[in-house]
Amino acid sequence: MKNYRKYAAQYFLPEGETLDWVQRDALTEAPVWCSVDLRDGNQALVEPMDVTAKTEFFRLLVELGFREIEIGFPAASGTEFDFVRKLIEEGLIPDDVTVQVLTQAREHIIGRTFEAVRGAKNVIVHVYNSISPAQREQVFHGGREEVKAIAVDGAKRIAELAAGRKENIRFEYSPESFTATEPEFAAEVCNAVLEVWRPTAEKKAVINLPATVETSMPHVFARQVEYMRKHLAFPDAVVLSVHPHNDRGCGVAASEAGLLAGARRVEGTLFGNGERTGNVDLVTLALNLYSQGVDPGLNFENLPYIAARYTFLTGMPIPPRQPYAGELVFAAFSGSHQDAIAKGLRWRRTHDGVWNVPYLPVDPHDIGREYERDVIRINSQSGKGGVGYILENAYSLKLPARLKEAFSRVVKKVSDEGHRELPPAEMYELFLDTYLRNEKYFSLSEVDYRMREGMDAEVLLTDNRTGEIRRLTGHGNGRLDAVANILKAYTGIPFSLNGYEQHALTEGTSAKAITYLSVTADGESCWGAGVHDDSSSASVRALCAALNNLLSRREG
Ligand code: KIV
Ligand code: ZN
């Protein structure tokens, strides 16, 4: 990267701040959230949303709990204007929701903005102009006084137009390019605007600090926020807001640091949509709070649905590693992680208290995700813990430890050879094929049992290679032992039974049982499993499956 000398850090570090917020290690309450999806987010889309899509998105935001929503830049286009009118004329804005509209600090644009919001109950008129040295020099060809005058004139026009209106209109000012502006000048411009508006504790003004382009590490942004908190006029009448973008990938961290440093409000978007690398992702911010025991005041209990709605309306995909929402963010493929998660989840069944399951920062169920589908996922990295977890939780199969181990080797082989993940249903089928369904050599039906100093058994055995059916009898100390003796004689293999475990498969009167057992002969063991309404028939089936497996293995 030979051109690195072309660049230099371009932010302004305020002098003499106390960094008092550094001592704080956590946020203890949610900020005021303002969604700018319908403005900043929308203006970043290849195909901006039409009125119908924006209306749907607005409904979604209201459902999620947003009470301040920037609905557009009404003077920017017909669609933007029409959308604002539609929300107002069709009564789609709940009484407790404030709609925010963006305007440049130019007279005719402000005029059109006020036309757009006529009849709305609660409105924030948000005015901005760019004040950084780079913009002053290259774009406006003016000095500090000129850009300050633009802000002040805009503020005056807004105050004039708002006077006497029956809507509840509040004001917001954003010094655009704030992070690349000298802090004392940013404070000077904001204070000049506040001097025009003279906000009160009853009717506060919002001063919104945009990292229009993110230029620094989060703690530098926080120092800039701290500076503004300490230098703004009308401190009790100002809501200090941040509006981070994500150019350095630190939007969430910058927002959190900005909140620690004294901001009380955040503007951002769902999943971080927005210009270039996006605005700050409010889903992540909110769920970060949630995961530390703070009520975020927004509802993401059905995050997969929200993500699907978002993608449908914006056309923007959600990357698989997106915090909380991405397809893979709870997925554990590796055996040791799966094992720890499976144990942690089991532990939680009998223990309350603060969520601390290994590898899961939040309970996936709380945001609408499933353990079986989203967390324990099976591929060639997986081990017995994960395999056992899926079979137990999705299919009620509680495998003996040695069988889990044996089956996880089968799973690993299939997944490794195919270079792919095995979904739960496929793994279940593989289990049935491997341990329940092998009748390659023989199948057996039980005909009769009679107690006689133990048990006499009579069975019909079909040789599946020749089709020959034989009626066979034998004796043992119980049904399974009697059938085992018949099969020892039939196969000529002096096997022994071990690893026997059995459990009910379904609750209630129609319960089925499953038996797992292994047969061992000449140091070689094979597992089988059998399901039946009758528990001893389940065992007989398991025995037949295990023996067929042994014969298959011997044949190679
Ligand atoms: O990023 C930005 O600076 C903005 C302003 C209009 C607030 O979106
Ligand atoms: Zn922005």
SS3 track for 359-372: CCCCCHHHHCCCHH
- Domain 442-555 of CATH type 3.30.160.270: yes
What pLDDT is attached to residue 507? 62
**Model confidence over 23-50: pLDDT tens digits?**
999 999 999 999 999 999 999 999 999 9
Backbone angles phi, psi at 168, to 5 degrees: -80, 100
Residue nearest to atom 3 of ligand 1 (CA): 212
Atom of ligand 1 nearest to the CA of 279: 1
Closest residue by Cα to atom 5, ligand 1, is 176
| Confidence tier at 285 by pLDDT (50, 70, 90) | very high
Q: How large is the greatest C-alpha to C-alpha distance in the chain, in angstroms?
A: 110
Predicted local confidence at residue 293, as pLDDT: 97
- 372 or 310, higher pLDDT: 310
Are the C-beta atoms of 529 and 436 separated by less than 8 Å? yes
Indicate if the pLDDT at residue 189 is higher than 80. Answer: yes
Q: Output the pLDDT for position 509.
A: 58
Q: What is the pLDDT of residues 320-338, one digit of tens each?
A: 999 999 999 999 999 899 9
The edge-to-edge listing of strands for the beta sheet with 513-521 is 496-504, 513-521, 524-532
Torsion angle of C-alpha atoms 202, 26, 293, 359, degrees rounded to 10: 150
Q: Residue range 136-152: average pLDDT? A: 95
Please list every protein residue whose CB sits less than 6 Å from any atom of ligand 1. Answer: 40, 102, 128, 174, 176, 208, 210, 212, 243, 245
Q: Relative to the alpha carbon of 275, which ligand is closest? A: 2
* 39 C-alpha to ligand 2 centroid (Å): 9
> What distance, in Å, lies between the first and last C-alpha atoms of the chain?
58
Q: How far is the CA of 481 from the centre of ligand 2 (A)?
A: 76
Q: The domain 8-314 is classified under which CATH number: 3.40.710.10, 1.10.150.130, 3.30.70.20, 3.20.20.70?
A: 3.20.20.70
| Residue 164 clears pLDDT 60, i.e. is over it | yes
Which residues are CB-neighbours of 502 under 8 A, at least 6 positions away? 513, 514, 515, 516, 535, 538, 539
What separation in Å is there between the alpha carbon of 275 and the centre of ligand 2? Answer: 7
Q: At residue 186, what are phi and psi to the nearest 5 degrees?
A: -60, -45
List CB-based neighbours of ion ligand 2 within 5 Å.
40
Return the pLDDT at 511.
83
The pLDDT, as a whole number, for residue 495 is 97
Q: Cα–Cα distances in Å, from 163 out to 112, 160, 237?
A: 16, 5, 18
Q: What amino acid is encoded at 120 in this protein?
A: A
Nearest CA to ligand 1 atom 8: 40
Ligand 1, pocket-test mutation among 102, 129, 178, 246, most atoms within 8 A of CB: 102
Parse the chain into domains and list their residue ranges.
8-314, 335-421, 442-555
Q: Are strands 469-476 and 455-463 parallel, antiparallel or unpaired?
A: antiparallel
Q: How far apart are CA 427 and CA 410, in angstroms?
A: 10
243 in Cβ contact with 251 (< 8 Å)? no
Q: What's at 1, amino acid-wise?
A: M
Report whether pLDDT(274) > 60.
yes
Give pTM, 2 decimals.
0.89
Centre of ligand 2 to C-alpha 196, Å, is 24
Q: Which of 437, 460, 459, 406 is nearest to 529 (CA)?
A: 437
Residue type at 290 in one-letter notation:
Y
State the closest ligand 1 atom to the C-alpha of 128, by its place in the atom list counted from 1: 6
Query: Rounded to 5 degrees, what are φ and ψ at 412?
Result: -60, -40
How high is the mean pLDDT of the chain? Answer: 96
